[in-house]
Amino acid sequence: MLIGKKPDILSSEITPRAIFENRRRFIKAAGFGAAAGLIASAGFVPSLASAANTRQKIASFNKTAYGKEEQLTSYDDITTYNNFYEFGTSKSDPAVHSRLFKPTPWTLSIEGEVKKPRKISIEDIFKLAPLEERIYRMRCVEGWSMVIPWVGFPLSKLIQYAEPTANARYIEFISLADPKSMPGVRVPILDWPYREGLRMDEAMHPLTIMAVGLYGEVLPNQNGAPIRLVVPWKYGFKGAKSIVGLRFTEKMPVTAWMKAGPSEYGFYANVNPEVEHPRWSQSTERRIGGGLFSPRIKTRMFNGYADEVGQLYAGMDLRKNF
């Protein structure tokens, strides 16, 4: 973790209280040394000399006007301060414990309410649509935010390829849960594999993308390689990473955080500064990269994308559906 970069938020406030306390009980029961030994014996302590973490440029992508007026968060901040519980619960864990993770070869399974269940390789996914760079504001429920230049393509293109039936009203995203390469999966912090979900109209919205890179480079392991979900008007936990499955369903899926903290994390996860988290306010945020004493800024409805997506929730009670 970079000194002076993190917000002034206690670690106990970052996850639902039940999960935080469960994590402390696990560490206490196992013993710090035993827990460290578990990771080391499984090969999770990376060797920098052999780690497969070489940065690679994306050969071709189109620039877009999305977010061109924004001040970007630095590459170093984006890739060293993030949540990816499969590699650990601290913000610095993913960059350390994902070094030996290998995102190739990769296959995505398409299941559920589709005309023909199938699997598609990451190489064929890249052929579905031209890649674009889109600069999006991203806000985490804990009160910190970033501006990230993602490279990806509209999720709608993958949905069209999947050929969902008329019964498909939701999409469930299933992330990889590999205990051999993901040390966090060996700890019962969440009900693995990680699962997220969107309503079909949310998934088809032009702002919703599948990201395969950032800053014009292949997506780093710690940020969800090789393919992840990006929905800029929702809180960060909605962005499923290292996705291996799409399941089209008629009923609303129960997501990982809904299971873990149902009073704190709802299905919709829309950024709404008027609805307080049970343990902190959502009215302001701190932009990562501005230093420890950077001023807090006002959080905007739907993270500033209200004009584009507000109509999706017309008539809904956004306090009840959080």
**pTM for this entry:** 0.85
- Binned at pLDDT 50, 70 and 90, residue 53 comes out as low
Look at 79 and 32; give whichever has higher pLDDT: 79
Asked if residue 284 lies in contact with residue 299, where contact means CB atoms within 8 angstroms, the answer is yes
Look at 128 and 7; give whichever has higher pLDDT: 128
Asked if residue 145 lies in contact with residue 232, where contact means CB atoms within 8 angstroms, the answer is no
Domains contained in the chain, CATH given = 11-313 (3.90.420.10)
Residue 28, pLDDT score:
40
| pLDDT above 90 (res 4) | no
- Binned at pLDDT 50, 70 and 90, residue 101 comes out as very high
Look at 63 and 44; give whichever has higher pLDDT: 63
Asked if residue 302 lies in contact with residue 309, where contact means CB atoms within 8 angstroms, the answer is yes
- Burial readout 205-225 (b: 16 or more C-beta within 10 A, e: otherwise): bebbbbbbbbbeebbbbbbbb
CA atoms of 249 and 164, how far apart (whole Å): 9
pLDDT in tens, 189-220: 999 999 999 999 999 999 999 999 999 999 99
| pLDDT above 90 (res 92) | yes
CA atoms of 193 and 186, how far apart (whole Å): 11
pLDDT in tens, 269-320: 999 999 998 888 999 999 998 777 778 999 999 999 999 999 999 999 999 9
| pLDDT above 50 (res 33) | no
How confident is the prediction for the chain on average, in pLDDT? Answer: 87
CA atoms of 243 and 198, how far apart (whole Å): 14
| pLDDT above 50 (res 188) | yes
Q: Read off the tokens for 148.
A: 């990230």
| pLDDT above 70 (res 35) | no
Residue 19, pLDDT score:
52
Mean of pLDDT values over 238-267: 96
Residue 203, pLDDT score:
98
Residue 7, pLDDT score:
42
For residue 261, give the nearest of 179, 201, 200, 322 by alpha carbon.
322
Residues above pLDDT 70, as percent of the chain: 83
CA atoms of 130 and 110, how far apart (whole Å): 21
Mean of pLDDT values over 76-97: 96
pLDDT in tens, 142-154: 999 999 999 999 9
- Binned at pLDDT 50, 70 and 90, residue 9 comes out as very low
Residue 87, pLDDT score:
98
Q: Which residues pair with 280 in a beta bridge?
A: 277
| pLDDT above 80 (res 25) | no
pLDDT in tens, 107-145: 999 999 999 999 999 999 999 999 999 999 999 999 999
Asked if residue 253 lies in contact with residue 287, where contact means CB atoms within 8 angstroms, the answer is no
